[in-house]
Amino acid sequence: MPAQAIAVDVGGTEMKAALVAVGPDRAEPLRWLRRPTPRGEDTARLVVDAVAGLVAELRVDAQVDAAGVVVPGAVDEARGIGVYSANLGWSDAPLRDMLAERIDLPVSLGHDVRAGGLAEARLGAARGMRDVVVLPIGTGIAAALLFDGQLYAGGGFAGEIGHVDIGHGEPCGCGRTGCVEALASSAAVARRYLARTGAERTSAEVAAAVRAGDPDAQAVWAEAVDALAKGLLVLVTVAAPECIVLGGGFAQAGALLTEPLRERLDAMLAAYHRRPHLELAELGDTAGCLGAALLATEGLRTK
Question: Measured between alpha carbons, how far is 222 from 253 in angstroms, rounded to an integer?
Answer: 13
Candidate segments 20-28, 32-40, 190-198, 267-275, binder of a second copy by CB under 8 A: 267-275
Decide: helix, strand or coil at residue 107.
strand
Out of 48, 161, 257, 265, the residue judged to bind a second copy by CB under 8 A: 161
Reported in sequence order, the residue ranges of 148-294 that DSSP labels E, i.e. its strands, are: 150-152, 243-247, 277-280
**Nearest partner of 117 among 136, 138, 137, judged by Cα:** 136
Candidate segments 58-66, 144-152, 208-216, 247-255, binder of a second copy by CB under 8 A: 144-152
174 belongs to the binding site for a second copy (CB under 8 A):
yes
Where b means 16+ CB within 10 Å and e means fewer, 62-87 reads: eebbbbbbbbbbbbbbeebbbbbbee
160 belongs to the binding site for a second copy (CB under 8 A):
yes
Candidate segments 35-43, 47-55, 234-242, 283-291, binder of a second copy by CB under 8 A: 234-242
Out of 11, 136, 159, 247, the residue judged to bind a second copy by CB under 8 A: 159
152 belongs to the binding site for a second copy (CB under 8 A):
yes
Out of 175, 212, 302, 303, the residue judged to bind a second copy by CB under 8 A: 175
Site for a second copy in 235-264 (CB under 8 A): 235, 237-242
Least gap, CB of 167 to a second copy (angstroms) = 4
CB closer to a second copy, 196 vs 274: 274
Number of residues that bind a second copy (CB under 8 A): 36
CB closer to a second copy, 60 vs 270: 270
**Nearest partner of 47 among 32, 62, 30, 35, judged by Cα:** 35
Element (H, E) at 144: strand 144-147
267 belongs to the binding site for a second copy (CB under 8 A):
no
32 belongs to the binding site for a second copy (CB under 8 A):
no
Least gap, CB of 166 to a second copy (angstroms) = 8
Question: Measured between alpha carbons, how far is 257 from 261 in angstroms, rounded to an integer?
Answer: 6
26 belongs to the binding site for a second copy (CB under 8 A):
no
Where b means 16+ CB within 10 Å and e means fewer, 42-53 reads: ebbeebbebbbb
- Residue 263 vs residues 172, 209, 269: alpha-carbon distances, Å: 26, 21, 10
Question: Which pairing describes strands 3-10 and 74-76: parallel, antiparallel, or unpaired?
Answer: unpaired
Out of 9, 76, 112, 131, the residue judged to bind a second copy by CB under 8 A: 131
Is the Cβ–Cβ distance between 133 and 242 less than 8 Å? no
Which residues does 80 contact at the CB level (< 8 Å), separation at least 6? 94, 95, 96, 97, 109
Out of 13, 25, 40, 154, the residue judged to bind a second copy by CB under 8 A: 154
The residues of the shown chain that bind a second copy, judged by CB under 8 A, are 131, 143, 147-148, 150, 152, 154-155, 157-161, 163-167, 174-176, 178, 230, 233-235, 237-242, 270, 272-274
